[in-house]
Amino acid sequence: MIKYQYWGSFRRVLNLQRYVGQNVVVGRLKLNNAVDSRTPLITKVFIRSIHYSIPPRKGPPISMKDIDYKIDDLHLDKISMPTEKVPITLHHEVYGKNTNQSPIIFLHGFLNDGRIYSSVAPQINTRTGKPCYTYDLRNHGQSGRKFPHDYQSMVEDVIYTIEKQGLKDVSLIGHSMGAKVAMLVSLKRPDLISDLIVIDNSPVVNDVSKLDRMIERLLIGLCHVETQLTAKYGKDIVDYKLLYDDTVKILRQFNINDLVIKAILPNIVVGKPHKLTASVLPFMKYDVRSKLGDWPVSYLQPLKKLDKPTLVIRAKRSRYINDDNLTNDYPKYFNDLTVTEMNTGHFAFVEHPTQFVKIVSEFLNRPKAS
């Protein structure tokens, strides 16, 4: 099941349902082809999920040497972004009631948004009783579009949003780019957090292009998705399955594996199917990808190591965490460190969500030191 979120008028949802031709879940109310008698009372609805299966591949994957990147077709010279060095309030969704339990905040990676946690966050909420907040980092999802897109700016956004929401004793969880943001927030403002979970990244400067060569292909592929779908569909509401099928077809031309495509598909906005939730073209123009490997040590000065419990989840089939990172780099910043491994690629919680939920829940439910 591919999950996504959309606010809109009830009439717009009925139009969407007509085009989709499948069951749509609206909050706790499931819309089938026969409309429930209560639905006319709804003025705003929240679509939670839709069933979609990625079609099987036909023939072998395209070889790397045959990829045609067609950068000139993207017309990057026409792209611009506002620059303002002030923190922004981040869009978020909440899973679970706002109880007396301390909250969990999830931070996503590059080219994703908070919805990538939409399958695991509710399960972790159920197992821990903690309300789960999924943040959209700047220039992703429904959060504001502001440059620069660097770690210092993202950290200040997260701190600003936590303080604005009045959250305390936060369990902070981050993946990939979001893992570095989570580590930096914890080191910068340890008073805000109770514990930290890092998913497959390290507190070092690294060359992302060497760690994960797919990132560049994925970024270029999504740029073509954005430009081609806009040109093809304009502002018309189209069959959502057809829209997904076109996205899958384009990304496969850039040799993107289906697991990553599954994680990326929710970035297509329902109601405006011709656009991604975040325009990726500015990322390409301003070479944001090359900055993903930064680790701004000067921003942390004077450095004080984190004493809060820290769990590192290492994906064994990924190169973002190596033995040297665990032996020499993590101990520079974190005193109370636990490491666990998952036999997955970089998207550990997408590949093995059940195992991930178990690991995270057991860590958060551990007996607290007196």
On the question of pLDDT at 178 being above 70, the answer is: yes
Distances (CA, A) of 112 to 29, 138, 158, 260, 313: 27, 11, 16, 10, 19
**What is the residue type of 258?**
D
Give 218-265 pLDDT, tens digit per residue: 999 999 988 888 788 776 656 677 888 889 999 999 989 888 888 888
Give 68-107 pLDDT, tens digit per residue: 788 888 888 888 877 878 899 999 999 997 677 899 999 9
Residue the block writes with tokens 């059940």: 354
Question: What's the pTM value of the predicted model, to 2 decimals?
Answer: 0.83
Q: Which residues contact 126 (CB under 8 A, 6 or more apart)?
A: 96
Give 204-221 pLDDT, tens digit per residue: 998 776 667 788 889 999
Give 338-361 pLDDT, tens digit per residue: 999 999 999 999 999 999 999 999
The answer to whether 47 and 24 are in contact (CB under 8 A) is: yes
Domain positions in the chain are 1-51, 92-206+293-364
Three-class secondary structure of residue 120 per DSSP: coil
Among 85-89, 123-127, 266-270, which is the least confidently predicted range?
Answer: 266-270
On the question of pLDDT at 10 being above 50, the answer is: no
The predicted structure's pLDDT at residue 370: 59
Give 31-73 pLDDT, tens digit per residue: 333 333 333 333 333 334 456 788 888 877 777 777 778 888 8
DSSP assignment letter at 329: I
Whose CA is closest to 155, among 255, 232, 85? 85
How many whole angstroms separate alpha carbon 259 and alpha carbon 153? 30
Residue the block writes with tokens 């700016």: 153
Average pLDDT over residues 325-337: 97
CATH 3.40.50.720 fits 92-206+293-364, yes or no: no
Q: Which pair of structure tokens corresponds to residue 192? A: 């805000």
